[in-house]
Chains A and B, each alone.
Chain A
């Protein structure tokens, strides 16, 4: 136990200690890709602000204060207040926690399932592949938003259901991408070589195809984070997502809030800006990842 700790520490030490080299590397990355780095920082701030909302938020997100209702941005309430006098900045932070939490979980769930199904389908071929392709055809025929609101109509609104349903909406495209990657990797000579020396199909899928098919899957996962945020926001906007009094970016723009927006237009600005910045950042990072993984495509989007 003690010796293993010591061993791992001694491996990590030389790198960790050389702060100048790390700093230099970071500097080079920032200089070469300034915009993706800036966007990552923005995303980090949004994520940290939402994740640490309990400590950062200046007010209680549900504290009602009718005498201060519908204020514009000022020094007491940085983003103003809503119709019940709740602090909008606080609610944007808590809303981010809901939106990011739901979309990150649903993308993780959807992409893991889609990758497993897509890789096996692409690697195996045969009747299983045909069956999967037909299922993907069906999934792709439903617009994401339509699947989600229809299923919440059947099964009610709860956060865990919302996660599962958004994951289902992402499955079709995810399976298609990972299946294509599996077929592309599967035609490489090293897969044939592995098969020749007697590697079993499960082993080939896990040890050879999966790691080599990961780049396009990571790119689509990043893009899906943006898509999931947009779906969650639209569903909450329509009133079938995150339920009040919990804050969510979509619901803050919804029917109840819209009545008061003519009176206090700032209400319509902040949550939308938060959605936009988050989705925008995920998209830029997705593009940068794609360029990094596949230099041939550089600047082609």
Chain B
């Protein structure tokens, strides 16, 4: 288990290093005169232009620039935003909670929806509850998140004269105001995410229900409820946890449009602003952060396998 942990950690670090290198490399492929183009588009003054040249490392050799960036990044310094002159690291820390709250609420709601649906679908296989659950899942898979959110806003305003409250408040400052703003985006996000989760949970449960030990347990007189709780659900946890790991990048990507539509000042909006301002320092930092978050989640998921399933703990 410890060797496995160390290997996984090293691999995650290597991947993140490679990602930083590639993101920095992409910045480098910008043609040399890009600063002039940008300056004209974004109305940079000469001092800003000079700083952009320096921050993009256009004058230093690539490895020197990348080394500097990496050492600063490891100390939490991701440079200064070109437009706002603010520390990108601080900005990200101030915004990450919004995105994470939306992601977690969304995942929790998705789980609350998908667990009963998945169980019912697997237990009632090929009967109408199964078809109903699967139809809901397939619908959820195909609905674009931004469309659902747009419909909610348009018809909320039309029929209920409701519109999302403006002026975001953090959850530890004003929990009630915060939840008033968060419940709808989180609910819609959760509905969308529930599609994949229901399908995976159903498949995982069907796999377990098919096993010989289920028949044995039933034969020795275990009630169906007990069977489900003690054997089936526990054994289908691994694929289910895997989905949450696999879904995390989707969650972070989807968060961008929900933040935009519901005016939530998260990392997604920060990225969009960075792109609109052509602020490469911001775009670079956000990409590395998001990739880092995904890698960290996958690491946690992989390690949690060992805790959930003793067989994995022993064999690795």
Chain A residues near B (Cβ < 8 Å) = 134-135, 137-138, 140-146, 149-154, 226, 230, 233-234, 237-238, 240, 250, 253, 258, 261-262, 265, 268-269, 271-272, 275-276, 279-280, 283-284, 287, 299-301
Chain B's closest residue to A152 (CB) is: B275
Cα distance A279–B280 when bound, in Å?
33
Hey, which chain A residues are within 8 Å of B153, CB to CB? 258
* Known A134-B14, A141-B15, A301-B199: A276·B147 in contact at CB below 8 Å: yes
In the complex, the answer to whether B290 meets A280 with C-beta atoms within 8 Å is no
* Known A138-B18, A253-B150, A262-B158: A149·B271 in contact at CB below 8 Å: yes
Chain B's closest residue to A173 (CB) is: B246
Measured between C-beta atoms, what is the minimum distance from B196 to chain A in Å? Answer: 10
In the complex, the answer to whether A272 meets B291 with C-beta atoms within 8 Å is no
B61 at the interface (CB under 8 A from A): no
* Known A146-B256, A149-B271, A237-B257: A253·B290 in contact at CB below 8 Å: no
Hey, which chain A residues are within 8 Å of B158, CB to CB? 262, 265
Chain A's closest residue to B21 (CB) is: A138
In the complex, the answer to whether B290 meets A142 with C-beta atoms within 8 Å is yes
Measured between C-beta atoms, what is the minimum distance from A299 to chain B in Å? Answer: 6
* Most chain B CB inside 10 Å of its own CB: which residue of A151, A226, A261: A261
- Name the one of B27, B143, B249, B256 contacting A238, with C-beta atoms under 8 angstroms: B256
Hey, which chain A residues are within 8 Å of B257, CB to CB? 145, 234, 237-238
Measured between C-beta atoms, what is the minimum distance from B270 to chain A in Å? Answer: 12
B40 at the interface (CB under 8 A from A): no
Stretch at the interface among B43-51, B84-92, B134-142: B134-142
Hey, which chain B residues are within 8 Å of A144, CB to CB? 249, 253
In the complex, the answer to whether A261 meets B150 with C-beta atoms within 8 Å is yes
Hey, which chain B residues are within 8 Å of A271, CB to CB? 147
- Name the one of A145, A153, A250 contacting B283, with C-beta atoms under 8 angstroms: A153
In the complex, the answer to whether B278 meets A153 with C-beta atoms within 8 Å is yes
Hey, which chain B residues are within 8 Å of A154, CB to CB? 26-27, 29-30, 280, 283
Measured between C-beta atoms, what is the minimum distance from B42 to chain A in Å? Answer: 12
Give the number of A-B contacts (CB < 8 Å): 140
Cα distance A149–B287 when bound, in Å?
11
B144 at the interface (CB under 8 A from A): yes
Chain A's closest residue to B16 (CB) is: A141
Hey, which chain B residues are within 8 Å of A152, CB to CB? 275
- Name the one of A135, A138, A145, A262 contacting B254, with C-beta atoms under 8 angstroms: A145
Measured between C-beta atoms, what is the minimum distance from B207 to chain A in Å? Answer: 8
Cα distance A153–B287 when bound, in Å?
12
Chain A's closest residue to B26 (CB) is: A154
Hey, which chain A residues are within 8 Å of B249, CB to CB? 140-144
Secondary structure of the A contact surface, majority rule? helix
Measured between C-beta atoms, what is the minimum distance from B65 to chain A in Å? Answer: 16
Hey, which chain A residues are within 8 Å of B170, CB to CB? none
Chain A's closest residue to B207 (CB) is: A300
Cα distance A261–B146 when bound, in Å?
14
Chain B's closest residue to A223 (CB) is: B141
Cα distance A143–B22 when bound, in Å?
15
Hey, which chain B residues are within 8 Å of A230, CB to CB? 144
Query: What string of 1s and 0s marks CB contacts (under 8 Å) between B280-297 and chain A?
Result: 100100110011101100
Chain B's closest residue to A169 (CB) is: B253
Hey, which chain A residues are within 8 Å of B14, CB to CB? 134
Give me 4 other A-B pairs in contact (C-beta within 8 A), A138-B19, A276-B142 excluded: A153-B278, A230-B144, A265-B155, A301-B202
In the complex, the answer to whether B271 meets A146 with C-beta atoms within 8 Å is yes
B126 at the interface (CB under 8 A from A): yes
Hey, which chain B residues are within 8 Å of A283, CB to CB? 138, 141-142
B58 at the interface (CB under 8 A from A): no
Hey, which chain A residues are within 8 Å of B250, CB to CB? 143
Chain A's closest residue to B17 (CB) is: A138
In the complex, the answer to whether A134 meets B146 with C-beta atoms within 8 Å is no
Chain A's closest residue to B130 (CB) is: A299
Chain A's closest residue to B12 (CB) is: A137
For this complex, 29 residue pairs linking A to B, each with C-beta atoms less than 8 Å apart, are: A141-B16, A141-B292, A142-B249, A142-B287, A143-B250, A143-B252, A143-B254, A144-B253, A145-B254, A146-B252, A150-B271, A151-B26, A226-B142, A233-B146, A234-B144, A237-B257, A253-B146, A253-B150, A258-B154, A262-B154, A265-B155, A268-B154, A272-B144, A272-B150, A275-B144, A279-B142, A300-B202, A300-B203, A301-B199
In the complex, the answer to whether A300 meets B206 with C-beta atoms within 8 Å is yes
In the complex, the answer to whether B252 meets A272 with C-beta atoms within 8 Å is no
Hey, which chain A residues are within 8 Å of B145, CB to CB? 234
Hey, which chain A residues are within 8 Å of B295, CB to CB? 137, 141
Cα distance A238–B254 when bound, in Å?
12
Measured between C-beta atoms, what is the minimum distance from A145 to chain B in Å? Answer: 4
Hey, which chain A residues are within 8 Å of B292, CB to CB? 141
* Known A138-B19, A153-B275, A154-B26: A272·B151 in contact at CB below 8 Å: yes
In the complex, the answer to whether B146 meets A234 with C-beta atoms within 8 Å is yes
Hey, which chain A residues are within 8 Å of B274, CB to CB? 153
Interface residues of B in 166-205 (CB under 8 A from A): 199, 202-203
Cα distance A226–B142 when bound, in Å?
8
Hey, which chain A residues are within 8 Å of B15, CB to CB? 134, 137-138, 141
In the complex, the answer to whether A149 meets B144 with C-beta atoms within 8 Å is no
In the complex, the answer to whether B138 meets A146 with C-beta atoms within 8 Å is no
Hey, which chain A residues are within 8 Å of B202, CB to CB? 300-301
